[in-house]
Chains A and B, each alone.
Chain A
Amino acid sequence: MIESLEILSPGPLTTVQDLGRYGFSRYGVPPSGAVDSFSLRVANLLVGNSETEAGLEITLMGLKVRVLTDLFVALCGGDLQPHLNEKPFDMWCSQIVRKGETLFLKAPRSGCRAYLAVWGGISLAPVLASKSTNLASRFGGYEGRALMKGDVLFSEAPDQHFQRAGKIFKPEWRPSYKGDWVLRVLPGPQDQDFPEESRRLFFDSPFTVSSQSDRTGIRLSGPAVHRKKDLGDSIISEGIVPGAIQVPGDAQPIILLVETVTGGYRKIATVISADLPLLGQVKPGERVVFQEVPMQEAMTALKVCENYINMLKKTSG
């Protein structure tokens, strides 16, 4: 194990995340993990890690890290204008960075979160079977908290030869983060609790992403999506999955992300699995439109995503 990265500036939020913590929701423990799991998986595979390895989830801008030893890395996800020693740094491919160099993410050009994977991973003890950071309950990841200036990360010592350098995740396989989002959803589980008029508004209207969005949920503002008049504002609490769109008393939808395990509000629809990673790239001020699709299309879309991952796995570096 060797020192790999030193945080010079963390930006608004940089955390250690893997693909999440499963099997513990009976204890009220949410999955956590990378909001855009697709980008983290690709970054890991590009450097030869297992796709389940932990990496850094970098939010919006401002992360500056010093490279403490020669490393083999990949940066995927939102284009936060990455620079290595002031020179633009390519994304979606594996690259060698040298001891003493500085990686800096200036500001978002598209998307919201970038994922940095290091060959050899991030050496941290898993807590409840995952290296993901649970910020609210302060466990997992790096001491259960966001990374701060001065933190030093360790990785398993990479061997001397960086054979996989130059491996690329092809541009046509990459998702686009245009900022005018069409999110595909399946209705339910409580869509029947909303009158026809509300359902029409929900599917026909653009919603604006609120600045209060975080890893817990994407808060939206737009037309009021009222429930049926004779219903109370909450239901008996039940399990929820990331991508569930709940509508609380104020009739403004919230897309739940990875830090929630149960909830007591009605869910009008749920984002399909293929589009879940995109939720990690939605940022405040952008517009979201929901599009209802049949289950068949949801499955086909998921297979397309997985196919890109499988093609990457088959690429020799």
Chain B
Amino acid sequence: MMGDRALLVELGDEISPSINEKVRELFLKLDRYPLDGLVELVPSYRSLMVVYDPLRIGLNRLREEILKLHQATDPSLVSEPKTLHVPVVYGGESGPDLEWVADFHKISSEEVIKLHSGTIYRVYMIGFTPGYPYLGELPQALATPRRATPRTAVPQGSVAIAQRQTGIYPVQSPGGWHILGWTPVKLFDANQWPPTPLEMGDLVKFFPIQKEEINRWT
């Protein structure tokens, strides 16, 4: 429980694709199920937060409905994830931390790029700021602690890493992750529908481009 109007449904206690997929399944089922009093669904790594209006639905009834849905198997409710290919200008002004990360792991910048763009990532959740995808898992060889001092302003489009995660900053915001590169792909636009090209459970594959090629992707 979180207060008197949110139920935190925990489906595991670690970061793993299978637990996250269980969260996604329950999220999609609840999302398509008309339940009076349901206010908001917040899927994350290992839990689904269900915000409800306690004046319209009781906690016990809500628990029963969620349990019923959790046990129901209806594959038609769970849509296939999509894969988004994201061009990245690595290093230089676009990726001010690329060399630092390479030095930290005692490998070359080229190897960092190869490792980062050679992995298919899962969108575990979207949070922090609108459209911000938490992508995992980053290869162990690139696992890097957060910056000691966060930046007050990370530019929009920055592609960054921290620990076993990578992400893309949809708007300029403060941030403590290491910036490897920059993408022209727009991750959030409140005036478009849907406002972000990614949903939880989708897959992301980065590929390196040169700065001169940006126009081809915008």
Contacts and interface: CB of A to CB of B under 8 A. Distances in A.
Contact of B171 (A128, A137, A185): A137
Contacts of B126: 26-28
A186 B4 contact: yes
Q: What's the dominant secondary structure at chain B's contact region?
A: loop
A303 B41 CA distance: 24
Given A237-B44, A238-B49, A239-B8, A136 B1 contact: no
A127 interface: yes
Q: How large is the interface on B (under 10, 10 to 19, 20 to 34, 35 or more residues)?
A: 35 or more
Contacts of B45: 236-238
A299 B43 CA distance: 26
Contacts of B13: 236
A127 B189 CA distance: 10
Interface in A27-69: 27-31
Interface in A272-297: 272-273, 295
B4 A236 contact: no
A28 B40 CA distance: 12
Contacts of A270: 2-4, 6
B3 A128 contact: no
Given A128-B190, A302-B55, A306-B55, A239 B49 contact: yes
A267 interface: yes
A85 interface: no
A136 B195 contact: no
A134 interface: yes
Contact of B130 (A23, A29, A237): A29
Given A138-B171, A244-B3, A262 B44 contact: yes
A273 B5 contact: yes
Given A27-B196, A261-B127, A303-B55, A236 B46 contact: yes
Contacts of A128: 190, 195
A28 B55 contact: no
Contacts of A138: 171
B194 A27 contact: yes
A28 B131 contact: yes
A150 interface: no
Contacts of A108: none
Contacts of A23: 40
A244 B2 contact: yes
B200 to A, nearest CB: 7
**Residue from B40, B126, B131 with most neighbouring chain A CB atoms (10 Å):** B40
A271 interface: yes
Contacts of B200: 26
A137 B187 CA distance: 12
**Residue from B4, B45, B49 with most neighbouring chain A CB atoms (10 Å):** B4
B73 interface: no
A255 to B, nearest CB: 11
Nearest to A185: B3
A298 interface: yes
B42 to A, nearest CB: 3
A24 B196 CA distance: 11
B47 interface: yes
A265 interface: no
A27 B51 CA distance: 16
B42 A137 contact: no
Interface string A186-209: 101100000000000000000000
Contact of A237 (B3, B27, B48, B134): B134
Nearest to A296: B4
Contacts of A273: 3-5, 54
Contacts of A139: 190-191
B199 interface: yes
A237 B127 contact: yes
Q: Nearest 3 pairs between A and B by C-beta? A: A239-B42, A262-B127, A239-B49
19 contacts: A22-B39, A22-B40, A27-B196, A28-B170, A28-B188, A127-B190, A134-B130, A136-B173, A138-B171, A139-B190, A188-B1, A188-B2, A236-B15, A239-B8, A267-B2, A270-B4, A271-B3, A272-B4, A295-B4
Interface of B: 1-6, 8, 13-15, 27, 39-49, 51, 54-55, 59, 125-132, 134, 170-171, 173, 188, 190-191, 194-196, 199-200
Given A237-B128, A241-B51, 18 more contacts: A22-B40, A22-B51, A26-B27, A27-B131, A27-B194, A30-B130, A127-B190, A136-B129, A137-B171, A144-B190, A236-B46, A237-B125, A237-B134, A238-B44, A239-B48, A240-B49, A241-B3, A273-B54
